[in-house]
Amino acid sequence: MNQGDNHMSHVIGLKCRECGAQYPAAIQNTCFECFGPLEVNYDWEYIKENISKEKIEKGPSSIWRYADLLPVEGTDYIDLGAGFNKLHHAKNLGKELGLNELYILDESVNPTNSFKDRVTSVAVTKAIEFGATAVGCASTGNLASAVAAHAAKAGLPSYIFIPASIELGKITQMSAYGPNIIAVDGTYDDANRLASEVADMHPDWAFVNITVRPYYTEGSKTLAYETAEQLGWQAPDHFVAPLGSGALLCAIKRGYDELAQLGLIESSNIKVSGAQPLGCSPISCAVREDKEVIPIKKMETIAHSLAIGNPADGYYARKVILDSGGYAASPTDDQIIDAIFLLARTEGIFTEPAGGTTIAGLKILVEEGRIDPDERTVVYVTGNGLKAQDTLIKHTRIPQAIKPTFGEFEKQYAQLVLI
Amino acid sequence: MVKVRFSSALNSVTGTRETTLDLGDTTVKGVFDELNSKFGAEFEKRIFENGEVRRFVNVYVNGEDIRHESGLETAVTDSDEISILPAVSGG
């Protein structure tokens, strides 16, 4: 598509994932022919001619080093610095679980402390490009803070729809950025449905995970790009990601596939596995029980950010997992809590229950023989434990105060050694 | 009167975002029979595939997804609100 200055763009427009119908790039998420979801349609020949490892490596230390693979024109990014986070070689956790080459991409260190900064930076940049007058989202908390923060940076009002029951820490954080918060008496799916209706009535607002969703999900591909780059432009053998809507897992796989297609990595023949909390596991149950994804209404889990009963990309996530030879796990809340402390204790990374779900899922998959000890395995830890303190405090032993004397310390130390 | 709200993705076939139907007590299927005859084959094609609501179409009765109720047999009373939305959001 011409941009008016004879500069060819790497983005042709949008196309339907189901029937292939094509549309120009706009605020649109649904195919008018078959109601299927839209995805970004790239000009891969153009991209191939303009991309190289060297160009990427000279780029900024953020997702925008991969701008040639993101659906944005120009360089006026709404950028708080999301991405290009450390890929930890998790030797301690690997040893504990019996994995010889385990890596963790730590997303808890993003600007608002979850992977949602990646997708939001892309979506809000795109919203500005489209001339949107406001941005919004439906969120279980992490996306809310990401959208409110990027909207603040962009100088746009934001409308955030959340289930009223999410963690207070997340409400505290998102409130600081000054969004309009609509707390819905219901589940995430209720908040999402309401937000969808509101978004549909305001075509000049960009709801990041609703009306500009085709662009938004592209931001998650950068998790694959920077993993491969930090592995010396190689793909892992296996990756494990959390499952909420299923969009993240699909986008990561798509990211590896694109790198292989462009010749930046040798192959994207990767096993893909997912983890979803047992109390809300429509996708992982579909994988484990070999059935279609059936939306669920009642969900009970401490992993609020994964509590999506009607996962928008569940159908595709199940397919990606099964086609790759991967599998899925459904840990219990107790296993999730144990995994949070296991990760913190072994690798010094403090994650929220969604990250605990992924680590607990990893443990189950290893125990079930679904991950071979010699597979180079990458795990995506997507959010920060500081956001879920009200959940974790119940599982934390608060130390008793001692008098500030050496004698008291020695008494305490003797007890600590005994433990 | 049953109130039906349409996604903007249906604009080109419905020409309206909302309609009301006088059907008395019925089912979701009864509502769609009426809508199909009102808006024609193109409307039916967008919503249905092999007699079932398409995977990416969500139908709500008073905010409840009919997949959690009785599907097309879900009861609809005279004062209910029905929304037809794409299932491509969230997460």
Contact A192 B65 (CB under 8 A): no
Residue-wise DSSP of B45-74: HHHEETTEE-TTEEEEETTEEGGGTTGGG-
What number of C-beta contacts closer than 8 Å exist between A and B? 95
pLDDT lower than 50: segments of chain B? none
Cα(A44)–Cα(A55) distance, integer angstroms: 17
pLDDT digits (tens, 9 = 90+) for A225-241: 999 999 999 999 999 99
One DSSP character per residue, A216-263 reads: HGGGGHHHHHHHHHHTTS---SEEEEE-SSSHHHHHHHHHHHHHHHTT
Distances in whole angstroms, Cα of residue A306 to Cα of each of A172, A293, A300: 19, 15, 11
End-to-end Cα separation, chain A, in angstroms: 67
Residue in chain A nearest B11 by alpha carbon: A32
| Confidence category of residue A2, pLDDT binned at 50, 70, 90 | very low
- Which residues are within 8 A (CB) of A33 and not within 5 positions of it... i.e. 6 or more apart? A16, A19, A21, B46
Pairing of strands B75-76, A238-242: unpaired
- The DSSP bridge pattern shows strands B26-27 and B75-76 to be antiparallel
Residue with token string 């024109």: A73
The residue-averaged pLDDT of A285-313 equals 94
Closest residue to A213, CB basis, from B7, B17, B88 = B88
Domain ranges of chain A: 1-47, 87-113+217-395
Residues of chain B found within 8 Å of residue A35, distances taken between Cβ atoms: 9, 46-47, 54, 56-57, 86-87
H-run or E-run covering A11: strand A11-16
Q: Is the pLDDT of residue A29 over 70?
A: yes
The interface pTM score, or ipTM, of the predicted complex is 0.92
Q: Name the pTM for this structure.
A: 0.94
Q: SS3 for A64?
A: helix
| Average pLDDT along chain A | 95
Tell me the chain A residues in contact with residue B68 when contact means C-beta distances shorter than 8 Å: 295, 297
Alpha helices, DSSP H, located in A375-405:
389-392
pLDDT at A65 over 90: yes
Which chain A residues are within 8 Å of B9, Cβ to Cβ?
A: 30-32, 35
Nearest CA in chain A to B91: A245
In A235-356, the DSSP E strands lie at 238-242, 271-275, 328-329
pLDDT average, residue stretch A265-284: 97
Backbone angles phi, psi at A298, to 5 degrees: -95, 130
pLDDT at B40: 95
Tell me what the mean pLDDT of segment A339-347 comes to.
98
Tokens of A211: 């009306």
- Between CA B21 and CA B82 the distance in angstroms is 11
Q: With an 8 Å Cβ cutoff, are B8 and A213 in contact?
A: no
Average pLDDT over residues A55-78: 97
Show the domains of chain B with their CATH numbers.
Answer: 2-86 (3.10.20.30)
* Mean pLDDT, residues A162-184 taken together: 95
B90·A31 Cβ contact <8 A:
no
CA separation for the pair A286, A320 (Å, rounded): 12
Q: In terms of Cα–Cα distance, which of A134, A135, A122, A133 is closest to A73?
A: A122
Amino acid A315 reads Y
Give the pLDDT band (50/70/90) at residue A416.
Answer: confident
Q: Which residues of A touch B84 (CB under 8 A)?
A: none
Query: Using CB atoms, which residue from B85, B87, B88 is nearest to A197?
Result: B85
| Cα A135 off chain centre by | 19
CATH of A87-113+217-395, one of 3.40.50.1100, 3.30.1600.10, 1.10.3720.10, 3.40.50.720: 3.40.50.1100
Per-residue pLDDT band for A3 (boundaries 50, 70, 90) equals very low
* pLDDT per residue as tens digits for the range A139-157: 999 999 999 999 999 999 9
Band of the pLDDT at A6, cuts 50, 70, 90? very low
Span A389-397, average pLDDT: 93
Tell which B residues from 14 to 73 touch A, by Cβ distance under 8 Å. 17, 46-47, 54-58, 60, 63, 65, 67-68
* Model confidence pLDDT, tens digit, residues A73-119: 999 999 999 999 999 999 999 999 999 999 999 999 999 999 999 99
Using a CB-CB distance cutoff of 8 angstroms, which residues of chain B are in contact with residue A298?
none
pLDDT at A315 over 80: yes
Identify each DSSP E strand in A29-142 by its residue range.
38-42, 87-89, 101-106, 134-138
Residue B83 contacts A where some CB pair is shorter than 8 Å: yes
